A and B are shown apart, each in its own frame.
Chain A
Amino acid sequence: MQINKDKQTPGHTISVLVENRAGVLARISGLFSARGYNIDSLSVGTTDDPQISRMTIVVRGDEQVLEQVCKQLNKLIDVIKVVDYLETPHIERNLALIKVAADKATRSELIQICDIFRAKIVDVSVESIIIEMTGDNEKIGALAKMLRPFGIKEVCQTGVVAMARGAKGISIQEERKPA
């Protein structure tokens, strides 16, 4: 149950557009594992084109090695596009579900904390609540810090998704026809 404890090395957030096919995930994760790199978070979902999936990978590591990893990612036959957001202004979002011990005595204080963080309470039982929180890792980390004294029972996160600020979208090599 570790939420964003290690803050020293900035994680690279890498977006990878891939063909939505079996085996692609294994190819991509294989590039990291073959170099002994641990992926901090990985999220996968389809894009507006159901044949293209977008993976967002957060990974820490030596600058040069990560550059090589990005080149290797690009080389994979099923990879359409790779973007490292390290030097691009971008938005990052992660969704966390956090189950916290809560009883009569603590519940109202927890509700207050949630209000401040604009988090939602999505389940209540006699002994616990589940909080849904969306934000970047830092914000989720801050909330978790506040919740820890109450007793965190379980945490589940979607992993970061990212998008560059501004009008420009990730273009794939094949120019998309304007709608």
Chain B
Amino acid sequence: MKTKTKNKKEITKEDLGLGKELTGAQILVEALIKEGVSQIFGIPGGSLLPAFDALYGSKVKVVLTRHEQGAAHMADGYARATGKVGVCIATSGPGATNLVTGLATANMDSIPVVAITGQVATHLIGNDAFQEADATGVMRPVTKHNFMVKNIQDLPRVLQEAFYIARTGRPGPVHVDIPVDIQRAKLKFEWPDNINIRSYKPKLVGHPLQIQRAIDLIGKSEKPLLYVGGGAILSGAKDELVALSEKAGIPVVHTLMANGAFPFDHPNYVGIMGMHGRYSSNIATQNCDLLISCGARFDDRVTGSVKTFSRNSKKIHIDVDPSNIGKTVAVDVPVVGDLKTVLAKITENVKSSDHKTWRKQIQEWDNKHPFTIKASKGSLQPQFLIQEVHKLTHGEAVVATGVGQHQMWAMQWYPCKNPRQFLTSGGLGTMGYGFPAALGATFGVTDKPVVCFDGDGSFQMTMTELGTAVQEKKKVIIVVINNYYLGMVRQWQELFYKQRFSGSNLSYFKDENSHKVHPDLKKLDYIPDFIKIAHAYGLKAVRIYKDEEIAGALKKAMASDKTFLIEAMISPGEKVWPMVPAGASLDETIVDMA
């Protein structure tokens, strides 16, 4: 189209990859490079052949996953562990629909992911063409935003906006659907200099008046409490949280999503709150006179009964997303803005204080009911196992989990030192998230061990990604906590459904009485043999039955240079304590029923 001129200006532009005529597929790759993407997780297909051809030999590494759900979780795990945008790619139709669970998971936890899907050629869209699915239609409710590119002219801008929208404001997944003919079409490549979306201007600086009101409330409070959620990690507000907590003497409780937002070994750290939270955290929440919510959203797993939740406290709610404020709990001082910025402003002018009596009171509650580990009678206690991993890694490993009892134990017994260490599906509660998320994290984390605490049920949902781990030579220490059951379901059935273990047993054996007797784990037949599964991929694995075997197994796992699997056999009757029954008040924490 355009003849080359010898104009100096143009030559510089071309050096930057600009001004050249490129195909849509090449533009995609250029855009990924410009956005600093080093790898893309996914699976090719008919509608992605041009894109994969352009990726071939490019600076962007293709990580071939075994399932698109795995690709989305890997992009998500990478994003959580690094703070960068994770990218996944899937073909039209089944590839796109396979991404849905992964994107919904990222969406619920506000994780920046960009998902690219191929689409049938524009002239075939709507014709039930081979491998056609209305991908934008399917993704719409489970993403922050999505695009279908029907004109090559739009492609550079759309890709730039996709990354921008994914990582700014309240982050989230953005999906871009690119028909195969658009990938082949040509365009003189220009990368827009700046982004201006008039309908999207995230508010970052909190309102000065509300900030002042927050400062005043904190100054007057005698029993203030910082209630920290996942937004604190997304916003990178650790230092600001510590500064406020220290200056104003405010103890800190946190949600599942905020494990690591505030260092667990800080004197002002109280602990995890909510359904399976610490007794002291929950009681402090109920008894504080000022609750300062920092990037948390008053989820029902945290508040228990909303009516009785922290009923005597004033509430400050700091959140970048105004739709979170006042959604479930009435708030006295709403501050819409980026947590990091807002906290810094508050700390600047807040009154210094130490609230000694209040902190002592919380400590006393904690002494009364700390998290406890039962003495093992020749068996293996999952809490002890996790605690051992914590000791060995100083609370600094990157830890991913599945969903279920093992997730709650990991949350309780692996309090993190730093943000971006704890990867778990909090909002959607997606079984199968753990292993691919851990694997995704290994692409960004090189200086820390990456451990996945998984359930036997959860692991079976995505263990197919062992193939990806081996092919990519990545190391994850997988600890399958095998209780022969969909344990969390079993726990509820035992406690609230008269021990009718309907559809929760993952094994051959009939074990109606397992809540009473301690079965001989070595005799039970289990499906599958996880050790053999590991062996099938050329990986080493050990099965352990007793607390005494933990140290040896961990030593082997740490020494291995490949992914290593530890299968820890525990009693199906193990339960997660304490527990606030669904819908009950946080005061009604059941410490233990045994």
Listed in ascending order, the chain A residues whose CB lies under 8 Å from chain B are 18-19, 22-23, 26-27, 30, 34, 67-68, 71-72, 74-80, 172-174
Q: Are A26 and B137 in contact (CB under 8 A)?
A: yes
Against A, the Cβ 8 Å flags (1 = close, 0 = not) of B123-158 are 000000000000011001100111010100000000
Q: Are A77 and B137 in contact (CB under 8 A)?
A: no
Instruction: State which residues 180-231 of B face A: CB under 8 Å.
Output: 197-201
Contacts of B541 in A (CB 8 A): none
CA distance A34 to B140 in the complex (A): 12
Contacts of B145 in A (CB 8 A): 76-77
Q: Are B199 and A77 in contact (CB under 8 A)?
A: yes
Listed in ascending order, the chain B residues whose CB lies under 8 Å from chain A are 136-137, 140-141, 144-146, 148, 150, 165, 197-201, 321-323, 326-327
Given contacts A71-B322, A75-B321, contact A34 B141 (CB under 8 A): yes
Chain A residue nearest to B136 in the complex (CB): A23
Which residue from A23, A30, A76 sits with its C-beta under 8 Å from B148? A23
Given contacts A30-B140, A71-B323, A77-B165, contact A19 B199 (CB under 8 A): yes
Contacts of A71 in B (CB 8 A): 322-323
Contacts of B327 in A (CB 8 A): 68
Q: Are A173 and B201 in contact (CB under 8 A)?
A: yes
Contacts of A27 in B (CB 8 A): 140
New contact pairs (17) apart from A26-B140, A30-B141, A75-B323, CB-CB < 8 Å? A18-B199, A23-B140, A23-B146, A27-B140, A67-B326, A68-B323, A68-B327, A72-B323, A75-B321, A75-B322, A77-B144, A77-B197, A77-B199, A77-B200, A80-B198, A80-B199, A173-B201
Q: Are A172 and B198 in contact (CB under 8 A)?
A: yes
How far is the CB of B338 from the nearest CB of chain A, in Å? 16
Contacts of B322 in A (CB 8 A): 71, 74-75
CA distance A34 to B146 in the complex (A): 18
CA distance A18 to B200 in the complex (A): 11
Chain B residue nearest to A70 in the complex (CB): B323
CA distance A34 to B141 in the complex (A): 9
How far is the CB of B350 from the nearest CB of chain A, in Å? 29
**Residue of B140, B150, B198 with highest tally of chain A CB at under 10 A:** B198
Contacts of A19 in B (CB 8 A): 199
Chain A residue nearest to B323 in the complex (CB): A71
Contacts of A77 in B (CB 8 A): 144-145, 165, 197, 199-200
Q: List 6 A-B contacts (CB under 8 A).
A: A18-B199, A23-B148, A30-B141, A77-B165, A77-B200, A173-B201
Q: Are B140 and A74 in contact (CB under 8 A)?
A: no
How far is the CB of A79 from the nearest CB of chain B, in Å? 6
CA distance A174 to B150 in the complex (A): 27
CA distance A27 to B137 in the complex (A): 9
Chain A residue nearest to B137 in the complex (CB): A26
How far is the CB of A99 from the nearest CB of chain B, in Å? 33
CA distance A74 to B137 in the complex (A): 20
How far is the CB of A45 from the nearest CB of chain B, in Å? 18
